[in-house]
Structure 1
Amino acid sequence: MSRHTRNGKSEAAKVIVVIADLTAVILGLWILFSLLDANRANNLVGWVHAAAGWLAGWSYNLFTMNTDWVRTVLNYGLPAVVYVVLGHALAARIRRVP
């Protein structure tokens, strides 16, 4: 395998890891903002809420506990964990492919 091919795979794997980690950070920020009752009229909080809602759309209301903070942690925390695990697993697989 040429060095160029190996570096290309390494770079692709890095991009995947960064994207997976950024999605987890956005979801984690929303959990934090929600738990701390951040001002939703703030532009940053609004952007993070919208982005987290889109990223966690597939798991929306997967958990329907009565306690708001538990529901938020589970409904946004699960996708964060899934994105990190899948992203890092995919990157590791890309690095191993000959």
Structure 2
Amino acid sequence: MAMSTRSGSSIGRIIALVADVVAAIIIVWILMYLLDANRGNDLVQWVHDAAAWLAGWSRDLFTFDKEWARVVCGYGLAAVVYLAVGHAAAGRIRR
């Protein structure tokens, strides 16, 4: 039983870490967008592409008049959901 608890704890940590990394990529994109990062830069483009793919289900969910509000809410919702679901799943697995 100790072995399964240990592996469950490790798997839970990995799931939480993946959720954190995914949310971090999305949050970095939000910050880059708000700070008007150079979209011609390779790093900025990579972060944008990754965040757009990760938040594909939520990025155009809101129809605010201001583009910055759509970006913050659409991408921000994805980051919050990944964190909540990832950490909830990790907690269940650790038990």
Normalised to the residue count of structure 2, the TM-score between the two structures is: 0.97
2:60–2:74 Cα contact (<8 Å) kept: yes
What is the Cα deviation at residue 60 of structure 1? 2.9
* 1:56-95 superposed matches below 5 A: 56-95=55-94
Runs of 4+ aligned residues of structure 1 deviating over 6 Å after TM superposition are none
Percent of pairs identical after alignment? 54
What is the Cα deviation at residue 87 of structure 1? 0.3
The secondary structure found in structure 1 opposite 2:57 is helix
The secondary structure found in structure 2 opposite 1:64 is coil
Q: What is the one-letter code of the residue matched to 1:41?
A: G
Aligned partners of 1:14 and 1:60: how far apart in 2?
27
In structure 1, the residue matched to 2:42 is: 43
How large is the RMSD of aligned CA atoms in angstroms?
0.7
2:16–2:87 Cα contact (<8 Å) kept: yes
Structure 1 unaligned residues grouped into runs of 5+? none
What is the Cα deviation at residue 95 of structure 1? 1.1
1:47-95 Cα deviation digits (max 9, x unpaired): 0000000000011310011111111100100000000000000001011
Aligned partners of 2:13 and 2:54: how far apart in 1?
20
